[in-house]
Amino acid sequence: MPKNDNVLVLSPTPLYSQIREILRQRILDGTYQPHQQMPSESELIKAFSVSRITVRQALGDLQRTGLVFKIHGKGTYVSKPKAFQNIGQLQGFGEAMSRMGYETFSQVVGIKTLAAGKVVCSKLKVKEREQITELRRLRYLNREPISLDVTYVPKAIGDRLAKEDLEHRDIFLILENDYGLALGQAEIQIEAMLADESLARLLKVEEGSPVLRIERLTFTADGQPLDYEYLYYRGDAFQYRLRIERGHL
Amino acid sequence: MPKNDNVLVLSPTPLYSQIREILRQRILDGTYQPHQQMPSESELIKAFSVSRITVRQALGDLQRTGLVFKIHGKGTYVSKPKAFQNIGQLQGFGEAMSRMGYETFSQVVGIKTLAAGKVVCSKLKVKEREQITELRRLRYLNREPISLDVTYVPKAIGDRLAKEDLEHRDIFLILENDYGLALGQAEIQIEAMLADESLARLLKVEEGSPVLRIERLTFTADGQPLDYEYLYYRGDAFQYRLRIERGHL
DNA sequence: CTCCGTAACTTGTCATGACATGTCACATTC
DNA sequence: GAATGTGACATGTCATGACAAGTTACGGAG
């Protein structure tokens, strides 16, 4: 009898998604300890009164994000929290650094409104010649300049951002917490280049020094492009770290 | 009647996995064109004579690797190839490139056994002075040298690898398919540097050209470090692309 | 003509049941 | 005692069926 008669029914979010979040919570607060053994699927089925397919979907999500791992024939285990937090998670620079105990701030070196060029235009999916905001910030880590961020957002958002405390707050966090824009994913391209004269001056390095250039297009949860950035990191002072998973494929 | 009576039954690999590969093939060879519309789930069910859950697992895999995307209520579509198949999936260089239709091969420029230095030692978690294998390969994309890979693996594995066709096969695929070592995740660090004389000569660029240096430590599915690499990519010819997700899910 | 409901698609979620396969502990057998 | 087999239990795979929800096109009502 495929009738849904469950205590968990309260929000319009899928069942497996609710269960996934409950399990994530328990992992994060230590109910399920770092390196061993989650309840088995059949236990979870009884505990939540759902079918196996639902439990498996919840566990599968947690596995794909790296929070748990499974061993065929044995069970599902909680992953070790692992040295660096950055699990291929989209997060802002300050967000990542402050979590590691570094002190950061940003210096706004320019903010202006201009007509979108072709590239920005196609990335942000706005009409040609539409007004957008360009924001340039120098980011400091422990008093040293470490990167130049050039950010493009639609003018509507840019005008609001201009009034915010951009020196100490991440744009990502402002967009999410203050504006209620849920961020989804980002597409990133990373390449190596040499610092030209103006970039070298800003980052306080020699002209011709190696620079990590990251292009990042960030989308809202529902897939709208929201924020297009170029990040120029000093090659001698920054490493971009991440963890990636090998798929179940 | 859950009896399996299918034409596809011939190998011990899962059905959904066979279907996934067939569909991937059709996408790569253009049977399903770049930007629109895959057969619907019900069509695939009829075509392969399998259940919906199987079709969905195959399509779900393809979606997670970025090859297709779905729109609720409309259908499943082939992603534009220009985009990033590379979704934060751990994969080898050749693996990624061939999936995008590029032709690659590797030239082994050196392979030797030596005592592990401190860094390699701590990364691979082997005892100091233990023997390990260093493998140097130049990787070509469409006839052009594009990267130098320096790989460190324990001697036991290195000895086996030395007999393999390293010119045309990815190490990752050899480890997984031939040796049965399930890869789990990798930790990656990316930074920018300048090509020194020897690196410049190998990559056929000017000395002092920008180079992307990627350090990658790969683990088996059960968490054992297995393979430690330095990848030096030509900054002018390569971009490292990936997609990352915000948040928990 | 426009507006709107409905029907016919699509993918999303979930239940139930079955068998395959890997792991491990325990008891049986040699 | 060591090897073997067996059963309990874990996850993996797959079938069938149902309803929810988003999209689109068509046709009737205004």
Dump pLDDT digits (tens) for A1-33: 333 333 443 446 899 999 998 998 898 888 998
pLDDT at residue A3, rounded to an integer: 36
What mean pLDDT, rounded, does chain A reach?
79
Sequence-separated (6 or more) residues with CB below 8 Å from residue B155: B113, B130, B131, B132, B133
| Cα–Cα nearest to B77, from B63, B98, B64 | B63
Contact B212 A193 (CB under 8 A): no
B10, pLDDT greater than 50: no
CA of B72 to C1' of C3 (A): 25
**B122-153 pLDDT tens trace:** 888 887 778 899 999 998 877 788 889 999 99
Cα A4 to chain center, whole Å? 35
Give the model's confidence band at A169: pLDDT under 50 very low, under 70 low, under 90 confident, else very high.
confident
Of A136 and A218, the one with more pLDDT: A136
B178, pLDDT greater than 80: no
Q: Which residues, numbered 77 to 106 in chain A, qualify as contacts with chain B under a Cβ-Cβ cut-off of 8 Å?
A: 80, 83-84, 88-91
**A177-209 pLDDT tens trace:** 778 776 766 777 788 899 999 999 999 999 999
Per CB-CB distance under 8 Å, the chain A contacts of B184 are: 69, 245-246
**A70-79 pLDDT tens trace:** 888 999 998 7
Of the ranges A30-34, A171-175, B64-68, the best mean pLDDT one: A30-34
Give the model's confidence band at B102: pLDDT under 50 very low, under 70 low, under 90 confident, else very high.
low
Query: What's the CA gap between B249 and B246, in Å, rounded?
Result: 8
Using an 8 Å Cβ cutoff, are A83 and A93 in contact? Answer: no
Q: What is the mean pLDDT of residues B117-125?
A: 83
A102, pLDDT greater than 80: no
A248, pLDDT greater than 80: no
Q: Is the CB of A71 under 7 A from strand C?
A: yes
Model confidence, pTM: 0.61
Using an 8 Å Cβ cutoff, are B150 and B136 in contact? Answer: yes
Per CB-CB distance under 8 Å, the chain A contacts of B187 are: 83-84, 241-243
Contact B246 A17 (CB under 8 A): no
pLDDT at residue B82, rounded to an integer: 44
B157: DSSP letter: H
pLDDT at residue A42, rounded to an integer: 94
Q: Is the CB of B246 under 7 A from strand C?
A: no
ipTM for the complex? Answer: 0.60
pLDDT at residue B162, rounded to an integer: 87
| Cα–Cα nearest to B119, from B189, B193, B175, B181 | B189
